[in-house]
Amino acid sequence: MTTIQNYSDTQLPYQNQYQSAQADAFHGVSSSDIDELLQGNPNLWRGCDMAGQGVQGRSTGFPQLDAILPGHGWPDRGLMEVITPHWGMGELQLLIPLMRSIVEQGKWILWISPPYLLYAPALVQAGINTDQVLVVKLDTSCKDALWSMEKALQTENCGLVLAWQNWLPTKVLRRLQLAANTGDTLGVFFKHHDSEHSPSPVRLKIEDSYSENAGFNESEVTVIKARGNFRSRSANINLYQQA
């Protein structure tokens, strides 16, 4: 009925006419309301538009990184993969602000078989309460590591679970993802190689970079994949700004 009425109104250019028809079809719902609806629903995913997506993430502590992550920060739960060609590229520096906020929440950080000794003075310098840090040292199997990771992800009090595993089957990752969702926790894998079809919602890569003004001080952080991002984006960040 409304279209017929609008066609009769011949004065308007075609474009306007169409828009008003649309607007009338929504019975006076303005475009800002629609935007609100679109923004508010995290299940709606809109192509390359990565603004907000309704999920407000936890700030990473690095403004440049916040800018390229959907939700302007780390997701609240789920799995993340941090890929570095070798250890010591600042992969933990990247998570220090996150760790700090998790510890402040009263939650624990679990380190599952880290490759080297975790050094307490550095944690204290970074402002992380070592009372809320637990290390599981396993020299045995990957199975045990995954078992503890799943249990930890299901435990609400473990805010962050860190593990060093290079290659994991998709099935295992899906299972861990589910565990992280039930426990409302965040799990991070540190790996050397990227696996393209990994189901983890966030994959980051840290690479060495050199620029004229910053020298070697900055590293290139690439968000290979993030739920809500259309394409990979990268930013140059000085990860050692605290040090």
Site of interaction with other proteins (CB under 8 A): 85-93, 104-108, 114-125, 130-131, 133-138, 144, 147-148, 151-152, 155-158, 207-208, 216, 219, 240, 243
- Nearer to other proteins by Cβ, of 50 and 221: the residue is 221
Smallest distance, other proteins to C-beta of residue 43, A = 25
Dist. CA 110–CA 76, nearest whole Å? 16
Instruction: Judge whether 192 and 164 are in contact, CB under 8 Å.
Output: no
- Nearer to other proteins by Cβ, of 76 and 144: the residue is 144
- Nearer to other proteins by Cβ, of 29 and 120: the residue is 120
Nearest C-alpha neighbor of 230 from the set 68, 34, 17? 68
129 in helix, strand or coil?
coil
Instruction: Judge whether 189 and 80 are in contact, CB under 8 Å.
Output: yes
Q: Which two tokens stand for residue 150?
A: 């799943």
Nearest C-alpha neighbor of 195 from the set 220, 163, 165? 165
Smallest distance, other proteins to C-beta of residue 69, A = 21
197 in helix, strand or coil?
coil
Smallest distance, other proteins to C-beta of residue 73, A = 18
- Nearer to other proteins by Cβ, of 14 and 216: the residue is 216
Which residues does residue 220 pair with via DSSP β-bridges, in sequence order?
207, 236
Smallest distance, other proteins to C-beta of residue 42, A = 21
Q: Give the list of residues 6+ apart from residue 125 with CB closer than 8 angstroms, or none.
A: 242
Dist. CA 2–CA 4, nearest whole Å? 5
Dist. CA 149–CA 145, nearest whole Å? 6
Smallest distance, other proteins to C-beta of residue 153, A = 10
- Nearer to other proteins by Cβ, of 17 and 111: the residue is 111
Specify the length of the chain in residues.
243
Smallest distance, other proteins to C-beta of residue 164, A = 10
- Nearer to other proteins by Cβ, of 50 and 94: the residue is 94
Nearest C-alpha neighbor of 39 from the set 67, 70, 74? 70
Smallest distance, other proteins to C-beta of residue 225, A = 22
Decide the pairing of beta strands 108-112 and 158-164: parallel
- Nearer to other proteins by Cβ, of 148 and 177: the residue is 148
